[in-house]
Amino acid sequence: MRLSLLTSLAALAFSSYAQSPSADAYVASESPAAKAGLLANIGPDGSKASGAKAGVVIASPSTSNPNYLYTWVRDSSLVFKTLIDQFTTGEDNSLRGLIDDFTTAEAGLQQTSNPSGSVSTGGLGEPKFNIDATAFTGAWGRPQRDGPALRSTALITYANWLLANGNGTSYVQNTLWPSIKLDLDYVQNNWNQSTFDLWEEINSSSFFTTAVQHRALREGAAFAKTVGQPSVASGYTTQADNLLCFLQSYWNSDAGYVTSNTGGGRSGKDSNSVLASIHTFDVDAGCDAASFQPCSDKALSNLKVYVDSFRSVYGINNGISATAAVAVGRYPEDVYYNGNPWYLSVFAVAEQLYDALITWNKQGSLDVTSTSLAFFKQFDSSVTTGTYRSDSSTYSSLTSAIRAFADGFLEINAKYTPSNGALSEQFDKSSGTPLSAADLTWSYASALTAFAARSGKTYAGWGASGLTVPSQCNGNAGPTVSVTFNVQATTVYGENIYITGNTGALQNWSPDTALLLSAANYPMWSITVTLPASTVVEYKYIRKNNGQVTWESDPNNSITTPGSGSATQNDTWR
């Protein structure tokens, strides 16, 4: 009773300084606040980015509980893609100097050797750096292979604008293209290796990573042709085809949603999938399901399953209709900070719905299939499968209801956004109070992109139109299985256990890029890796302590992976 009373009082106190619940009012007040909050976190002149080099994006000014005063390649690339889109469409012509600072900073980070390797030995998969652009050398979930893809996408958008406006050909050829090619080559050569997901918790295959890698290689191939590199373009296209093929393997047809991670022992219902859809949106692709466009039947079915998975998880969702907007987070099993809604996840749901509305409006119709029927029945219980033209009453009623549904997610965030517009990472699942990292730059960027979609804005396409899924994936893309490696090993302070082996997923016997195991159940060290199915895999564990590497004794360990499903291998350090 006392806890319930305190929670109610906290919610009452918080509501006194929350934003207006109206979506229109929230967009009007939060748009300038989000833009200012984002710019404040970019060095060297951002008011909250003291110590950050020019063009470096700090994730958050928070230095404790949690310490996010670092620069992540993924976050920075998403933030600057937002700014580059604003600049290249004429929304904000003041950003060019800042964008040039970003390109310079990222080119420097590409060349900075780090625990993932050098520029030529895997270092481009390093997820984060210190804000003075030096390497972060602590233990972390590495590699994270979405960063190079997202960075190349941002830079290609800028490079294409420069070429179209005839005032940067030399800069594009001599400065931007070398950086872009490094990232695209990394994606081309490493897309089928395991990766930590965008939440930095699971080392397996990640839907978000695969989707943004596919986009990067598609637009990278077109850009390579533009700068006179047709043979390079051909290589990118080949692997893009393989990525598109592999992307289909995440779809859970029986349950109607994307299994966002192939490892980790969770349901796979994850904001990862929604973020993938909005960050690979191409209005020219229509409602293509192969690339999981926002209005595709698979993306809509997935969205419903994902949103519904949170209806009974958070206290602040109690009493809300089963067909109304609710607070959502990363995934329903989340325990980070006790598991709460994330502003950026809520914005992402709204953005996918706005993107869908943009596409339906452009094509003048919407399709209801057996896959998406449950999604549409939320808004009209009598709707049936079929095509509804824009001049029909069903189209009008459905799109009107879906827009109101999308606005509902903005209104959820509005309810829990302080009156000054500050966006943290999360808000409490019981009281709605902001918590975790304050002034999260990605939260601000997600607000801006959702608001842009609500206003009907679209940006340059990336070649998603007219794609055909190959009948068979080539390379090491599939079939694959999830293997959990457990090893009993006692260690001294500062020492960690890694694994490497004879496949690309195990880093081809490289001690420099060997995969870090988790010590969450010490002295048991564990990792889940996606490996080729029905394959004999050899591996060894190694110890690392202050740069000193100690290998397990001979002979190599060996496992034959199953033909499907998953497996667990239990070992003891030798």
Query: Which pLDDT tens digit goes with each residue over 249-303?
Result: 999 999 999 999 888 888 999 999 999 999 999 999 999 999 999 999 999 999 9
Are the CB atoms for 146 and 212 separated by under 8 Å? Answer: yes
Same domain, 505 and 442: no
Same domain, 552 and 496: yes
**Strand 566-572 versus strand 480-488 pairing type:** parallel
Q: What are phi and psi of 506, to 5 degrees?
A: -110, 20
The answer as to whether 186 is a domain residue is no
Q: Collapse the DSSP code of 230 into the 3-class scheme (helix H, G, I; strand E, B; otherwise coil) and give the result.
A: helix
In the chain, what percentage of residues exceed pLDDT 90?
82
Same domain, 450 and 504: no
The answer as to whether 337 is a domain residue is yes
Give the C-alpha separation, 155 to 83, whole Å.
11
Question: Confidence band (pLDDT; 50, 70, 90) for 19?
Answer: low
The CATH number of whichever domain residue 531 belongs to comes to 2.60.40.10
Give the C-alpha separation, 492 to 573, whole Å.
14
| 197 is annotated as an active-site residue | yes
**27-50 confidence digits (pLDDT tens):** 999 999 999 999 999 999 999 999
Helix axes 343-363 and 297-308, enclosed angle (nearest 10): 150
Question: Confidence band (pLDDT; 50, 70, 90) for 562?
Answer: confident
Dihedral of alpha carbons 496, 499, 500, 506, sign: negative
| Average pLDDT rounded to a whole number, residues 7-35 | 71
Helices (H), 145-206: 147-164, 169-171, 177-190
**177 assigned ligand-binding residue:** no
Same domain, 443 and 519: no
The answer as to whether 239 is a domain residue is no
Same domain, 522 and 393: no
282, burial (CB in 10 Å: exposed 0-12, middle 13-18, buried 19+): buried
Dihedral of alpha carbons 180, 501, 237, 76, sign: negative
Dihedral of alpha carbons 262, 264, 266, 268, sign: negative
Are the CB atoms for 441 and 75 separated by under 8 Å? Answer: yes
Instruction: Give the lowest-confidence range in 78-82, 436-440, 486-490, 519-523.
Output: 519-523
Same domain, 494 and 557: yes
The answer as to whether 557 is a domain residue is yes
Same domain, 528 and 397: no
pLDDT of 4 higher than 50: no
> Which amino acid, residue 260?
S
Number of domains in the chain: 2
State in Å, rounded, how far the first CA of the chain is from the last one: 54
Dihedral of alpha carbons 26, 29, 35, 38, sign: negative
Half-sphere exposure for 573 (CA within 13 Å, toward CB): 19
Q: Collapse the DSSP code of 178 into the 3-class scheme (helix H, G, I; strand E, B; otherwise coil) and give the result.
A: helix
Place of tokens 């986009």: 215
Same domain, 320 and 420: yes
| Average pLDDT rounded to a whole number, residues 52-76 | 97
The answer as to whether 232 is a domain residue is no
CA dihedral 81, 82, 83, 88 (to 10 degrees): 80
| Average pLDDT rounded to a whole number, residues 89-110 | 97
Q: What are phi and psi of 28, to 5 degrees?
A: -65, -40
Task: Name the β-bridge partners of 485.
Answer: 527, 569
Give the C-alpha separation, 331 to 307, whole Å.
10
Same domain, 453 and 484: no
- Range(s) of the domain holding residue 497: 480-572
Record the tokens describing residue 570, joined without a space.
Answer: 């239990």
Same domain, 369 and 405: yes
Give the C-alpha separation, 333 to 494, whole Å.
30
The answer as to whether 547 is a domain residue is yes
Task: Name the β-bridge partners of 204.
Answer: 195
457, burial (CB in 10 Å: exposed 0-12, middle 13-18, buried 19+): middle
The answer as to whether 281 is a domain residue is no
The answer as to whether 544 is a domain residue is yes
pLDDT of 5 higher than 80: no
Are the CB atoms for 298 and 277 separated by under 8 Å? Answer: no
pLDDT of 473 higher than 80: no
Record the tokens describing residue 508, joined without a space.
Answer: 């081809």
**349-374 confidence digits (pLDDT tens):** 999 999 999 999 999 999 999 999 99
Same domain, 413 and 487: no
Distances (CA, A) of 533 to 220, 230, 250, 479: 30, 34, 16, 6
Cis peptide before 143 (omega within 30 of 0): yes
Cis peptide before 523 (omega within 30 of 0): yes
| Secondary structure element (H or E) that encloses residue 142, with its range | none
**Which position among 92, 100, 200, 512 bears the catalytic label?**
200
pLDDT at site 382: 97
Are the CB atoms for 55 and 105 separated by under 8 Å? Answer: yes
**Which position among 30, 85, 106, 197 bears the catalytic label?**
197
Same domain, 307 and 447: yes
Q: Which of 369, 530, 344 is nearest to 441 (CA)?
A: 344
Are the CB atoms for 214 and 240 separated by under 8 Å? Answer: yes
